[in-house]
Structure 1
Amino acid sequence: MSRYYETEGDDLGDDSPSIVAPETPSPVVTPNRPQPKKSSNFATINTLTTSSDEEEGQAYYAGGSEHSGQQVLGPPKKKDIVADMFKSVQEHGVEVLEPGAASSSGGQAFKGTGYKLGQDNTSSEVVPGFQEPPRPQEVTLRLWQNGFSIDDGALREYGDPSNKDFLDSIRRGEIPQELRQGNTEIHLAMEDHRMEQYQKPKTKVKPFQGQGYTLGSPAPAVVGACTNEDKSANEARAKEILKMDATRPTTSLQIRLADGSRLVGQFNQDHTIAQIRQYITAARPQYEMQTFNLLSTYPSKILDDSQTLKEAGLLNAAIMQKLT
């Protein structure tokens, strides 16, 4: 559409109407959205201050003239519970450490017991060392996209009512009640895994603690893991089988077993080597299916099962066990 303008005076020299070109509407401008960056596993000051801005909707410019326009706010993004928790922690004054800030590469000072050397007329003086306070317990809270976990524990959902008190304590910057153990100091480290699904930790390999078999013999010997309680019970049973008579002459005998351990017992002087063998298998059942010899220490010779301790010259002596 053309527009007409009236002018005062004849300076223009032409009474023909002026035609003004129609205004071209400004194009709709959509801001370039930056590419998302990979999330860090540690919360920094920058990530804490910007995470709340990411929750708001994207703003758009909806055209108009050169001097006017309209801003339209897009739909809000899905609420990020992980970002909300980090923000709440910061608002309650909890210190946020940069990655590696807690580690120290410096040497440690000597903290042991010292001695103040004396002079000719004074004795040395012991200077007690510094009593180092107990080390705090380290606990790691990992915040995943679909829940959270404590150390290497199982996944716990954000929406589970049983986890509400725990999460509320974290938001207030407090150590949750379930982590408190008496007067032990707790250091809680929070890790940001909001872009990852929960990953079950790898199972740690434990050393074998069962029973094994010694190969190379017609009847493999069972080698069991024997506790101190088992040893005491077995030795008590061996004494019952031996039936030592305290009214007759007694002697002490030390037996060096094939596994390097020692077995000490009280016997009558007329007990035979065969009865000593029976005592060993009762006190250490792992040798029940194993053939072995009993030897004197010096000079080393195989002992005769039919001899008594007195006849073999083994009063208050030591003998050795040798597997065959």
Structure 2
Amino acid sequence: MSDQDEKLQQFIAITGSNSDRAKFFLESAAWDVEIAMSRYYETEGDDLGDDSPSIVAPETPSPVVTPNRPQPKKSSNFATINTLTTSSDEEEGQAYYAGGSEHSGQQVLGPPKKKDIVADMFKSVQEHGVEVLEPGAASSSGGQAFKGTGYKLGQDNTSSEVVPGFQEPPRPQEVTLRLWQNGFSIDDGALREYGDPSNKDFLDSIRRGEIPQELRQGNTEIHLAMEDHRMEQYQKPKTKVKPFQGQGYTLGSPAPAVVGACTNEDKSANEARAKEILKMDATRPTTSLQIRLADGSRLVGQFNQDHTIAQIRQYITAARPQYEMQTFNLLSTYPSKILDDSQTLKEAGLLNAAIMQKLT
């Protein structure tokens, strides 16, 4: 028995078809048993009109089938071994092979792939001749030409000529278009969705390799850079801290201006008058007190230990008349607290101490 006869008997044993139909499929597949069986199961034996008496002819005329020119089939989620080798690269979905016996099997297609809008946009702009730069690539720049004002020298001062410098054109406006997984953004702007109808004209202009109308401002040249962030979700940019660029003032003394401040000549006379008003008794216990005034100066005086805080206040207004119309508090140094006018220096613990004046 020849090799063709063995393949013929094998085909008949597996498919159960008659000798003529088996021979037809084997001859059309160049006697490849697997391809012949694949085509047989695809068409379920309808690719050849059988003239044998065992098959009853239908009442309606059957369509003529040409083996060399098969009719196109509708797309299906199932494919045989033959269609696995002839399927198009553009077919969507991941292909999985479900094995059967040695001579049969099926290919099952997974769910269709999601359309990649970002990849389509980059492919479209490249077709329109847009320049593509690799990440981190910098434009090569050579030496810059002199652009200042020049002079064409002559034999004397009158024959020299001034040659104006080159007028540099205005710099183009830089705009960055970031294409995210869930939308796009312009510079540091908010996220805009791909499916929003209001963004359709903008995206169509980008696909055509044109600057969108909303970015055109007069005659200013615009350089639009596109960044691929298709694997990232939109991230709101961090707020950039800008230094203060307004008008400032240099402040003087931290103490407020006091109306009627006395001169150095008046201070001695005012302090002598304050001592007369205080009427310190040298026969009773005395103490020294340093007073830090609100204008930054200091006032030192001798007081009896039973003098009250109210009398110290009176002494200050007599020695510095500019504070007569001012309201102020007297505070201890540490810990800082407002002193009670009814307390004596001894009761307040201010013997040989320092106090502060604070305007209110």
CA contact (8 A) 2:175 2:186 kept: yes
CA contact (8 A) 1:144 1:193 kept: yes
Moved more, 274-283 or 178-187: 274-283
Moved more, 118-127 or 81-90: 118-127
CA distances 1:125-155 after superposition (whole Å, capped 9, x unpaired): 2222222222111100001111111011111
CA contact (8 A) 2:175 2:222 kept: yes
**Residue 215 of structure 2 is aligned to residue 208 of structure 1:** no
CA contact (8 A) 1:112 1:129 kept: yes
Distance of aligned partners of 1:313 and 1:106 in 2 relative to their CA distance in 1, 3 Å threshold: farther
Moved more, 190-199 or 206-215: 206-215
Distance of aligned partners of 1:294 and 1:23 in 2 relative to their CA distance in 1, 3 Å threshold: farther
Looking at structure 2, the residues matched to 47 and 173 of structure 1 have their Cα atoms a distance apart, in angstroms, of 39
**Residue 179 of structure 2 is aligned to residue 126 of structure 1:** no
Distance of aligned partners of 1:84 and 1:208 in 2 relative to their CA distance in 1, 3 Å threshold: same
Looking at structure 1, the residues matched to 87 and 265 of structure 2 have their Cα atoms a distance apart, in angstroms, of 58
The structure whose residues are more often helix, as a share, is 2
Structure 2 equivalent of residue 73 of structure 1: 109
Question: Aligned-pair distance for 1:188?
Answer: 0.4
CA contact (8 A) 1:295 1:301 kept: yes
Looking at structure 1, the residues matched to 42 and 74 of structure 2 have their Cα atoms a distance apart, in angstroms, of 64
CA contact (8 A) 2:332 2:354 kept: yes
Looking at structure 1, the residues matched to 262 and 125 of structure 2 have their Cα atoms a distance apart, in angstroms, of 51
Question: Aligned-pair distance for 1:163?
Answer: 1.4
Distance of aligned partners of 1:4 and 1:57 in 2 relative to their CA distance in 1, 3 Å threshold: closer
Q: Residue 54 of structure 1 aligns to a residue in which SS?
A: coil
Moved more, 260-269 or 146-155: 260-269
Structure 1 equivalent of residue 204 of structure 2: 168
CA contact (8 A) 1:213 1:220 kept: no
Looking at structure 2, the residues matched to 252 and 42 of structure 1 have their Cα atoms a distance apart, in angstroms, of 107
Looking at structure 2, the residues matched to 265 and 34 of structure 1 have their Cα atoms a distance apart, in angstroms, of 121
Distance of aligned partners of 1:119 and 1:83 in 2 relative to their CA distance in 1, 3 Å threshold: same
CA distances 1:11-41 after superposition (whole Å, capped 9, x unpaired): 9999999999999999999999999999999
Moved more, 138-147 or 54-63: 54-63
CA contact (8 A) 1:271 1:308 kept: yes
Question: Aligned-pair distance for 1:52?
Answer: 14
**Residue 309 of structure 2 is aligned to residue 280 of structure 1:** no
Question: Aligned-pair distance for 1:90?
Answer: 1.7
CA distances 1:214-245 after superposition (whole Å, capped 9, x unpaired): 88957558999999999999999999999999
Distance of aligned partners of 1:108 and 1:65 in 2 relative to their CA distance in 1, 3 Å threshold: farther
Question: Aligned-pair distance for 1:177?
Answer: 0.7
TM-score (norm 2): 0.42
Looking at structure 2, the residues matched to 151 and 21 of structure 1 have their Cα atoms a distance apart, in angstroms, of 73
Distance of aligned partners of 1:62 and 1:317 in 2 relative to their CA distance in 1, 3 Å threshold: closer
Looking at structure 2, the residues matched to 55 and 149 of structure 1 have their Cα atoms a distance apart, in angstroms, of 32
Moved more, 285-294 or 210-219: 285-294
CA contact (8 A) 2:79 2:107 kept: no
Moved more, 286-295 or 23-32: 23-32
Distance of aligned partners of 1:291 and 1:5 in 2 relative to their CA distance in 1, 3 Å threshold: closer
Looking at structure 1, the residues matched to 43 and 156 of structure 2 have their Cα atoms a distance apart, in angstroms, of 121
Moved more, 227-236 or 49-58: 227-236
Looking at structure 2, the residues matched to 47 and 254 of structure 1 have their Cα atoms a distance apart, in angstroms, of 105
Unaligned 5+ runs, structure 1: none
Distance of aligned partners of 1:97 and 1:126 in 2 relative to their CA distance in 1, 3 Å threshold: same
CA contact (8 A) 2:261 2:321 kept: no
Moved more, 227-236 or 123-132: 227-236
**Residue 143 of structure 2 is aligned to residue 115 of structure 1:** no
CA contact (8 A) 1:255 1:320 kept: yes
Distance of aligned partners of 1:197 and 1:91 in 2 relative to their CA distance in 1, 3 Å threshold: same
Q: 5 Å matches for 1:255-266?
A: none
Looking at structure 2, the residues matched to 252 and 200 of structure 1 have their Cα atoms a distance apart, in angstroms, of 65
Question: Aligned-pair distance for 1:302?
Answer: 37
Q: Residue 100 of structure 1 aligns to a residue in which SS?
A: coil
**Residue 205 of structure 2 is aligned to residue 157 of structure 1:** no
Distance of aligned partners of 1:199 and 1:298 in 2 relative to their CA distance in 1, 3 Å threshold: closer
Looking at structure 2, the residues matched to 55 and 222 of structure 1 have their Cα atoms a distance apart, in angstroms, of 89
Looking at structure 1, the residues matched to 276 and 83 of structure 2 have their Cα atoms a distance apart, in angstroms, of 73
Which structure has more relative contact order (CA 8 Å, sep 6+)? It is 1
Looking at structure 2, the residues matched to 43 and 282 of structure 1 have their Cα atoms a distance apart, in angstroms, of 110
CA contact (8 A) 2:255 2:294 kept: no
CA contact (8 A) 2:79 2:108 kept: no
Question: Aligned-pair distance for 1:95?
Answer: 2.4
Moved more, 37-46 or 86-95: 37-46
Distance of aligned partners of 1:46 and 1:29 in 2 relative to their CA distance in 1, 3 Å threshold: closer
CA contact (8 A) 1:115 1:127 kept: yes
Question: Aligned-pair distance for 1:92?
Answer: 2.6
Looking at structure 2, the residues matched to 128 and 250 of structure 1 have their Cα atoms a distance apart, in angstroms, of 86
Structure 2 equivalent of residue 192 of structure 1: 228
Aligned length: 324
Moved more, 41-50 or 179-188: 41-50
Question: Aligned-pair distance for 1:93?
Answer: 2.7
Looking at structure 1, the residues matched to 181 and 109 of structure 2 have their Cα atoms a distance apart, in angstroms, of 26
Report sequence identity in percent. 100
